[in-house]
Amino acid sequence: MKISTKGRYGLRALVDLAQLGGDAPVSITTISNRQGISERYLEQLMSLLKKAGLVKSIRGANGGYILGKELSEISVGDILRALEGDLEPVACPAVKTIQGEEDCNAVDQCVTKYVWQRISESINRTVDEIKLDQLLQQKGE
């Protein structure tokens, strides 16, 4: 599985917002300048993050973005899923079966589904365990 620039830049933007924003809104321009990400691209990412409830926008002269939840409530998995979609390593219906989605006609005979399911579980567990507050602690070390 490969994380695109959407996931990487979005995660950087939220860490920036978490570290330097606090309760005060942070503008796209400020994040863009600090992170070296284009404003236009950041606007697209923030729109997706806002839709997922991870950030809130504040209008006005001193407007910008603030976090939509507490640092300890936002996981890397939340951010990546909001920007990337699901985090499945392969397009296999058997992997999605774990999450209650449709099946395929070869699922009963397929032995590789076990590999994809384990990889998927491991990826999801790992990104869901890492919270924004932990990332800030890592940055401080």
The whole-angstrom separation of Cα 66 and Cα 69 is 9
The HSE-up count of residue 22 (CA atoms within 13 Å, CB side) is 2
Domain total in the chain: 1
Write the pLDDT tens digit of every residue in 16-31. Answer: 999 887 778 999 999 9
Say what the pLDDT of residue 31 is. Answer: 94
Mapped onto helix, strand or coil, the DSSP state of residue 60 is coil
Instruction: State the CATH number of the domain containing residue 63.
Output: 1.10.10.10
User: In which domain, by residue range, is 21 found?
Assistant: 5-140
The whole-angstrom separation of Cα 24 and Cα 58 is 9
pTM value? Answer: 0.84
Six-digit token string for 23? 């309760």
Write the pLDDT tens digit of every residue in 67-98. Answer: 999 999 999 999 999 999 888 777 776 665 44
The whole-angstrom separation of Cα 42 and Cα 32 is 7
Taking each helix axis from N to C terminus, what angle separates 132-140 and 5-20, rounded to the nearest 10 degrees? 70
